[in-house]
Amino acid sequence: MLRLPAVGSTDAQIAGELFISAKTASVHVSNILAKLDVPNRATAGARARDLGAA
C-alpha cells in the first residue's frame, strides 16, 4: 500500500488498484501518514524511499 501514495497516486487510483472504495483508500493513506509522522504524501514518499519501502 505504501508504494501507491509514494508514487503520487490519488485516492481514486489507489482504490481502483486495490479494489476498495476511494474513502477506504483515503483512510488508509491518512493512517500511513500518521504512522510515519509526516504531513503529506510527498514527505511519506521520501520517508518510504529512505526506509527502502518504495
Number of structural domains in the chain: 1
pTM: 0.84
Upper half-sphere CA count for residue 12 (Cβ side, 13 Å): 0
Domain membership flag for residue 4: no
Domain extent, residue 19, equals: 11-51
In a domain, 45, yes or no: yes
For 19-46, write each residue's pLDDT tens digit: 999 999 999 999 999 999 999 999 988 9
Q: Which grid cell sits at 11?
A: 485516492
CB 14 within 8 A of CB 29: yes
Instruction: Specify if 24 maps to a domain.
Output: yes
In a domain, 40, yes or no: yes
